[in-house]
Each structure stands twice: as C-alpha cells, then as structure tokens.
Amino acid sequence: MPWEKDFDTEVALGDAMRVFWAKGYEATSITDLTKAMRINKGSLYNAYGGKKDLFIKAILKYARDNQQATLAKLAHMQDPLDSIKMLFEAIVTESLADDEKRGCFLVNTALDMPNHTEDIQEIVSGSLHDMENFLERCIADGQTRGSISARLNPEETAKSLLAQIVGLRVLARGVFTHDGLNTIKKQAVLGIAA
C-alpha cells in the first residue's frame, strides 16, 4: 500500500526551515525536526528523503521566499540607487525586528561552508552570486542614469557591497545595535552615490 501524507508538505518545510535557521544543520536533530514539523520520522523520510535532503529543500525555500522575492521587488524600482538603499534598509529593519537574532539563513550557512557538502555549498554560493549580480546590475544601471558614481567599477563595488551585507547580517546577530547597523547602511549608500 502506498504511503499517504496527511500534512501540508510546504507548511512542514517552513517549520523545518525555521529550525535549521535557528540551530544550524549539525545542531539540528531529527527529533527537533519532527517535533517542529508535527510529523513522525517515517513521514519525514517519505516526504523529504532525510535530514540532508530536507536541509537542501529548506535552504532553497529560504532563497526563493526571502532573497529572490526581495530582489524581484527591488528590481522594479525606478532608480537603482533606491533599490540598493531599500535593500540595506530592509536588512537593517529585519535584523532589528529579529528578537531571536537568527540572522540570515544563507549567510549562517555560508559561515559554516567548509562543513557542508558540495551541493549545499553550490546552493549558498549561487545565492550569494545572485545577490552580487543584482548589485552589479543596479550599479551599472545607476551609472547610466547618473545616480551612482561613474568612477566606480560595478563588479568590484558589487563585491564590496555584498561583503557589507554579509557583515551586516553577522553583526546584527547581537554584536551591533541599531546605531551600528544604521551606520553600515549609511556608509554603503554614501560610498556609491553620484
């Protein structure tokens, strides 16, 4: 008799994502996951294939629902400089509202990159490259429109902004307060404006 699921796999995946996000891959047990997802071990393995497969699905969900959705909204703004400003503003606002100090699931995973398998490393690297490419396009477009300094190299500046974003995400986990996070945001935008 085939296995039948009696739960919403997308809702349960969101629950698993939040556990991995809070605890990391290694510290998360199957018991942590089944408890949060409100399913048994058999259902977890049948629906997701196991802990690693579930982690991959969770990180892809986070990238899709958080990063890709945000970048898609920002890409439609008229002024590319405003897109970059809003990206930093959104990160600071989200970080300050994060009472659990979870940070960014992708950045947290990147910080533990050597301990992950190649497929997970590729997902995280790809997501960070997507962010970098978005920033590079904004910079080049902003230079064309005159809102971003023409003296900047778009590729190098995108890498620098990505490093600031990663740093912001790490420092927001409890090292920097409101003022410190806003200083990073302000300096990032000042450094590129025409």
Q: Let me know if residue 104 belongs to a domain.
A: yes
Q: Do 51 and 33 touch, CB atoms closer than 8 A?
A: yes
- Please report, for the domain that includes residue 115, its CATH number: 1.10.357.10
Picking from 93, 103, 115, the residue whose alpha carbon sits closest to that of residue 27 is: 115
Q: Let me know if residue 79 belongs to a domain.
A: yes
Is the predicted pLDDT of residue 4 greater than 80, yes or no? no
Between CA 158 and CA 83 the distance in angstroms is: 13
Query: Domain residues for 80?
Result: 60-190
Q: Let me know if residue 27 belongs to a domain.
A: no
Q: Let me know if residue 35 belongs to a domain.
A: no
Number of domains in the chain: 1
pTM over 0.85: yes
Q: Let me know if residue 135 belongs to a domain.
A: yes
CB atoms within 10 A of CB 4: 7
Q: What pLDDT digit, counting tens, does each position of 14-37 carry? A: 999 999 999 999 999 999 999 999
Is the predicted pLDDT of residue 5 greater than 70, yes or no? no
Q: What is the mean pLDDT of the chain?
A: 93
Between CA 30 and CA 6 the distance in angstroms is: 19
Q: What pLDDT digit, counting tens, does each position of 98-146 carry? A: 989 999 999 999 999 999 999 999 999 999 999 999 999 999 999 999 9
Q: Let me know if residue 33 belongs to a domain.
A: no
Q: Let me know if residue 89 belongs to a domain.
A: yes
Q: Let me know if residue 48 belongs to a domain.
A: no
Between CA 87 and CA 126 the distance in angstroms is: 19
